Chains A and B, each alone.
Chain A
Amino acid sequence: MTEINLNYSQESGHLSLQVLNAFVDGEVWADAGTEIQKHLEDCHACTLRALSVTRLKAATARGAARFATSPEALARLSAQLRTQVAEEHSSAAKQIGRVVRFPARSASSVGAWSALAAAILLAFCFAAWQSFRQANRLTSELLDQHLATLAGSAEPQVISTDKHTVKPWFQGRIPFSFNLPEPDALPPDTMLRGADLVYVEGHPTALLLFTIHKHQVSMFVAQRNSEFAVTPRSTHAGFTLRSATTNELRLTAVSDVNPTELEALVQAVLKVQ
């Protein structure tokens, strides 16, 4: 509640529009509220107007719901926010780590050549750092998606162990196609559980959900993009990431299962592409 002097008025024997609206919006102090309440008990007209304002307020709130964010737009915006935050972190770290200083002008040719060599080295390091940063960003995003799956906050859109149900579901939803192995071609005690459509780095990605024993596995299947690549084998926060590529696709599996078993699943899926 704000400290507003309501200048409570009863012109024409009725509450003013401003007072009435502030009352409905819960913006009046207790004293004024009691006074208004007392007036409403005796004034049928003002009570009806207050009721009308309350209804209008609720209807406005309902009407605004039609511009709710689509899951796709929300995923893109969230990814962009996380990316920018990660860049901000990296930028701060880069400033701390900056040790090379170039003189504004080099007097000797030796100095000029040294500066040029340093510049080339810096450019090379920067390119490597960019690549590392993008890989890290992608890894974080894949981990986030996997954790969201584990949290079970939203059911996957396809719940099926049948590859003939899961694969066709993606038709028209993603701009590429992929194959799934037959159940007997999967490693022991490994089962397809379902699938979902997610956006990774803003790109539509098929999220295949498997279980190996009781461990959940998220396998992300996306179009291969030379800009972004996950390290083929890495471990982050206790989760193992295994990545493989074909000419067209990039497969990345995330799980806390034994890395060897995760690798076996990746290879089984890779084999049928």
Chain B
Amino acid sequence: LDVHYTAAEPTDEERDAVDALLGPSASGWTGGPERTVADRHFAAGGRSAREQRHLLLPALHALADRVGWVSEGALNHICRRLTIPPAEAFGVASFYALFSTKPRPPAVVHVCDDLACLVNADLCGELERTEGAAGGVERRSGATWLRSPCLGLCERAPAAMLSIAGADHRDELIAPARASDVVAAMDGKRIVRDLARTVLPQYGDPALRLLRRIGRIDPASLDDYRAAGGYAALRRAFELGPTGVIREVLASKLLGRGGAAFPTGRKWDAVAREPERPHYLVCNADESEPGTFKDRIVMEEDPFAVIEAMTIAAHAGGCEKGFIYIRGEYPRALAALDHAIAESRKHGLLGDDIMGHGFRFDIEIRRGAGAYICGEETALFNSIEGYRGEPRNKPPFPVQRGLFGKPTIVNNVETLVNVLDIVEHGGEEYAKTGTADSSGTKLFCISGHAARPGLYEVPFGATLRSLLDLAGGVRAGKRLQAVLLGGAAGAFVTPDELDTPLTFEGVRAAKATLGSGVIIVFDETVDLRAIVRRIAAFFKDESCGQCVPCRVGTVRQEELLHRIAAGGNGDAAATDRRLLAEIGQVMRDASICGLGQTASSAIESAFAKFDLLGAHRSP
């Protein structure tokens, strides 16, 4: 392993930040102050070097948290400490949107301009008029604002996230945010709008399963969680044993809630049967689909449930080590989980001997850094391992070769939380809720122009209309124009299709997808063409750039939408529509991962169901 460095050296602050995470260096070869005689008998390379690579992302976070950006000298220091080739480390640092490889002020406000925020208020437009272009630092020193994709605060849109680098680094969510709040945040004033707790619209409904504890217990208190029935499922899981748990999960017909709807029991079973060790468990909490916030609320308000469910999954799959990959824009969920893991360790619910059953399992949290693609399971593995978050080719599937090349269970937060009920009350019992092919309940994130946006839990089979009624219909007596079901990777639904039952098979028949349970409501005043263009821009920004259909296709798709918007309704428009369909097909057919494969689905459904060629007719 040859590693070459440039001459740039880190500042003391940068060195401190990295060393605080990695500890003092073992030798002069790995960034120590000077080389001693003992270092001649020391080799940094091979296995020991590779085993450190996964610390790259945390080290970059440590730097970004302390100084706000990743300088060349600091990157060199990380490379020396972890023996990573500098070219690759730079490739990783420049991959994530939250890291800057150019100097940036310590205080940055990330302002969401994605779908749910866009239809509520044009915050970014307002800021551009008053504060200058995003990323500019002309107006004030020490602070800037940036446009950001969905921050996952859609029920309180518009949203912003303030992050202040320094020794007392903090990330704060501001929602609902006004332009004046963002300006105040940049001026260093404390924002009072930071709402402490989520208010559940269905609070008190006895039918709630996954959300039953939310709002009722103190998320920081293990005792509260236990008093509300927590850890009964884990106890039952130890009684059932790994095969028993898998049998129950198979019987429950639980399907993955991350978007692909793969049977969870089969996944666990496959990993449990793999002879290769160790097995890993990964909880995918990188929900970056525009309009999704369900996992954030579960993690913020019921973190112990996530940990208990992960322990059950690890027990079933024979995993000793678990990772929660949480997106970088969720500071509060991160803090809640961090606290919950520490508490669990303290009470013997994580560690070498869980609940006295001799089962060893521990969880490590990994923070994402602003990359939608890292929600794709194999990209997530690469991200954890310290590589660029580019998806891998499948097969081999994660159950055979996942994290660090070992068999891996990877499940979404919502999927895991479902397991608690299944284990506690039995799979057969669980399967009684919902429909025959889609069992259980589903979380839906309603945002946009709904009267009561928020997180809703309904059994599978409920219609979209009933769900919208639950959310109070369209706000301010406006007429419904469209619903985006499944997020940017989903599809548009017209008011005529509201009686579609919300099940995996039901929406598939309507050529839509449940995706991650996103329901963004657009009233009649919304210009759908602008929404469609925002979706195209989202995919263009978030494509990892690895495969040609997605890297170039997303760009061409966006350009074409602008061309269609600028043009009329004539022959040229028809040609452009055909070209758009062809771009959509190649992305769907030939892209490596789900991002490219779904990058055109919402746009195509919008063109199929609405007249987007003419000018927008505002009522």
Q: Decide whether A and B are members of one complex.
A: no
